């Protein structure tokens, strides 16, 4: 009988996934990753998010539930590594004028990386690792293909594109072929206490400025034509594509199109300036399907987590860089975010927009 370790967060998805595996006859052990770091000053209570002081309460409830269902649990303190890996990346990205995606970083390097390494060092034995993500994996010709989950609205393959072949071959997604509604219904049928608990909305639901730990730094808000329209207290308080909360007056709506970290300037422009038809991405991860070099390849591409996939052409420039040319102009292709390319429901590749 296979022994399955499952990432147990205390939410409905991971809890139901653990119970489904148990019902299927697997020997299940829960792994919880403690990431909250108490030495960050002035951090506000973070509700419905992965990162915050509430994790202790969530894990306690998860442990109690697991014990009642014959599932052993282990909580592993990864807070310092999370700080040095995810929070440092988050902070450095913002201060360099790019927009990070901490969930993608966390999945690849923490949840499916460090957590498992730490568990094995602590003597936890398991054959596979499972999570409550909405995604699927298919093995074909000795390669592992990451695929979308059944529920298009909840699909999380975008956040998982950086998983390597080595990682994918020992991963299970028990919820991949269910919708969120089906998951909640199954959880209620099984009297799972968190059946109706709200999903995490982001990795941190407070003000991002809490994590940046920056003092106000006065700079200018400049129109793309060079005109100074106002002032701000730090370029890092803004995001590409932002329209509201700029604190400036202008005859037409203006959007943030650039964050000039070097000069501490926020560059704004009319909506038409936010559109572009192509982007370059590096730090590319190629999935389980071969992509020829320098050959235009029709794909569906997604360049923000909350966005939808749109038709595009993928050109693999090298092992580490791709170009994505969209059929139609897209708004706010943001440096630091990821663009992920699909063929049908299969992840072909993804990379960080530069």
Pick the CATH number of 214-273 from 2.30.30.280, 3.90.1150.10, 3.30.230.10, 3.40.50.800: 2.30.30.280
pLDDT of residue 32: 97
Please say whether the beta carbons of 352 and 281 come within 8 A.
yes
pLDDT of residue 206: 73
Superfamily of structural domain 3-189: HUPs (3.40.50.620)
> pLDDT digit string (tens) for 140-172?
999 999 999 999 999 999 999 999 999 999 999
Would you say residue 42 has pLDDT above 70? no
- Kindly state the helix (H) or strand (E) to which residue 343 belongs, with its residue range: strand 338-343
Fold: same for 214-273 and 274-353: no
pLDDT of residue 199: 82
pLDDT of residue 47: 65
Please say whether the beta carbons of 5 and 128 come within 8 A.
yes
Q: What is the CA radius of gyration of the chain?
A: 22
- What does the alpha-carbon distance between residue 255 and residue 321 come to, in Å, rounded to a whole number? 28
pLDDT of residue 28: 98
Please say whether the beta carbons of 305 and 103 come within 8 A.
yes
The DSSP secondary-structure symbol of 286 reads E
CA nearest neighbour of 268 among 222, 219, 331, 233: 222
Question: What topology does CATH give the domain 274-353?
Answer: Elongation Factor Tu (Ef-tu); domain 3 (2.40.30)
CA nearest neighbour of 268 among 224, 230, 317: 224
- The stretch 3-14 carries a mean pLDDT of 95
Sign of CA dihedral 227, 232, 236, 242: negative
Return the bridge partners of 279, or none: 324
Q: How confident is the model at residue 43 (pLDDT cuts 50, 70, 90)?
A: low
Domain ranges of the chain: 3-189, 214-273, 274-353
Residue with tokens 């292709």, as numbered in its chain: 333
Listed in sequence order, the residues at least 6 apart from 123 whose beta carbon sits closer than 8 Å to its beta carbon are: none
Listed in sequence order, the residues at least 6 apart from 31 whose beta carbon sits closer than 8 Å to its beta carbon are: 5, 6, 7, 8, 73, 74, 76, 115, 116, 119, 124, 129
DSSP string for residues in 289-327: S---BT--EEEEEE-STTS--EEEEEEE-SSS-EEEEEE
- Kindly state the helix (H) or strand (E) to which residue 73 belongs, with its residue range: strand 72-77
Strand, helix or coil for residue 271: helix
Q: How confident is the model at residue 250 (pLDDT cuts 50, 70, 90)?
A: very high
Q: How confident is the model at residue 189 (pLDDT cuts 50, 70, 90)?
A: very high
- The stretch 46-50 carries a mean pLDDT of 72
> pLDDT digit string (tens) for 59-98?
999 999 999 999 999 999 999 999 999 999 999 999 999 9
> pLDDT digit string (tens) for 285-334?
999 999 999 999 999 999 999 899 999 999 999 999 999 999 999 999 99
Would you say residue 38 has pLDDT above 80? no
Please say whether the beta carbons of 31 and 74 come within 8 A.
yes
Write the CA distances from 123 to 24, 82, 115, integer angstroms.
25, 21, 13
């Amino acid at each position: 009988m296979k022994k399955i370790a499952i990432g147990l967060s205390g939410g409905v998805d991971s809890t139901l996934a653990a119970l489904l595996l148990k019902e299927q006859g697997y020997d299940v052990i829960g792994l919880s990753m403690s990431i909250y770091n108490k030495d960050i000053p002035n951090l506000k209570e973070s509700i419905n998010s992965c990162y915050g002081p509430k994790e202790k309460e969530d894990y306690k409830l998860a442990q109690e539930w697991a014990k009642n269902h014959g599932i052993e649990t282990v909580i592993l303190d990864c807070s310092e590594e999370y700080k040095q890996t995810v929070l440092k990346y988050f902070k450095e990205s913002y201060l360099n004028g790019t927009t990070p995606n901490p969930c993608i970083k966390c999945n690849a390097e923490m949840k499916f990386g460090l957590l498992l390494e730490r568990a094995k060092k602590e003597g936890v034995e398991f054959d596979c690792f499972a999570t409550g993500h909405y995604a699927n994996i298919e093995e074909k010709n000795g390669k592992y293909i990451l695929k979308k989950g059944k529920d298009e609205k909840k699909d999380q393959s975008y956040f998982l594109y950086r998983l390597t072949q080595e990682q994918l071959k020992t991963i299970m997604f028990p919820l991949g072929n269910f919708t969120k509604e089906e998951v909640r219904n199954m959880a209620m049928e099984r009297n799972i206490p968190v059946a109706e608990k709200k999903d995490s909305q982001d990795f941190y639901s407070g003000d991002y400025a809490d994590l940046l730990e920056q003092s106000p730094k006065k700079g200018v808000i400049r129109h793309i034509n060079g005109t100074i329209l106002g002032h701000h207290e730090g370029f890092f308080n803004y995001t590409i594509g932002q329209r509201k909360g700029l604190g400036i007056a202008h005859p037409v709506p203006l959007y943030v199109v650039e964050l000039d970290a070097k000069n501490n300037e926020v560059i704004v422009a009319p909506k038409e300036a936010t559109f572009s038809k192509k982007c370059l991405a590096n730090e590319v991860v190629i999935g389980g399907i071969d992509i020829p070099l320098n050959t235009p390849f029709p794909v569906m591409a997604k360049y923000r987590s909350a966005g939808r996939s749109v038709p595009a052409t993928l050109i693999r420039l090298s092992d580490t860089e791709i170009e994505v040319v969209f059929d139609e102009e897209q708004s706010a292709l943001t440096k630091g975010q990821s663009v992920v390319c699909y063929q049908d429901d299969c992840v072909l590749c993804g990379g960080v927009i530069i």
